């Protein structure tokens, strides 16, 4: 597992430590600061897959933006759109599907069900 974000490394560290998720993902926390192009280019996702030693076709991206969805699909990855965050608009699910999301979910139990967990 990895975090591959458009946020800066400092912000990622702060946010992930604040939420208690840092140790779950470290050392695989990557920022577009580390690649040539940000989303919607696939660079950050391909970078993360390379660091993990995983083929892009075996990766699942969880995204809450159209740019990120485009980036994940351009990387050759499966993309699930997440619509349950406080900043998400009511029409985000449709926008993510139009951007190419393979599935859309609004809460973690729905994600678990979609993954058969």
- Apex CA 95: angle with CA 18 and CA 47, to 5°? 55
What pTM was estimated for this model as a whole?
0.92
Residue pair 16/3 in contact (Cβ under 8 Å)? The answer is: yes
Residue pair 62/94 in contact (Cβ under 8 Å)? The answer is: no
Q: Around 66, how many Cα atoms within 13 Å sit in the side-chain half-sphere? A: 8
Residue-wise pLDDT tens digits, 26-67: 999 999 999 999 999 999 999 999 999 999 999 999 999 999
Q: Which CATH class is domain 3-115?
A: alpha beta
Query: 99 CB contacts (<8 Å, ≥6 apart)?
Result: 66, 69, 70, 73, 81
Q: Please state, as a whole number, how many other Cβ atoms lie within 10 Å of the Cβ of residue 36.
A: 9
Where are the alpha helices (H) located in the chain, listed in sequence order? 9-18, 22-25, 43-52, 66-74, 92-98, 108-115
Residue-wise pLDDT tens digits, 74-98: 999 999 999 988 788 889 999 999 9
Tokens 């393979």 locate to: 102
Is residue 116 predicted with pLDDT exceeding 90?
no
């Amino acid at each position: 597992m990895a975090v591959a974000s458009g946020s800066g490394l400092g912000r990622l560290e702060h946010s992930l430590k604040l939420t208690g998720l840092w140790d779950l993902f470290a050392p695989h926390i990557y920022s577009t600061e580390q690649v040539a192009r940000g989303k919607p280019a696939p660079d950050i996702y391909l970078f993360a897959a390379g660091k993990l030693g995983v083929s892009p076709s075996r990766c699942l991206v969880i995204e809450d933006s159209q740019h990120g969805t485009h980036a994940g699909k351009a990387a050759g990855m499966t993309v699930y759109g997440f619509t349950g965050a406080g900043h998400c608009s009511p029409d985000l699910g449709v926008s993510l599907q139009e951007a190419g999301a393979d599935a859309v979910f609004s809460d973690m139990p729905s994600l678990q069900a979609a993954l058969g967990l």
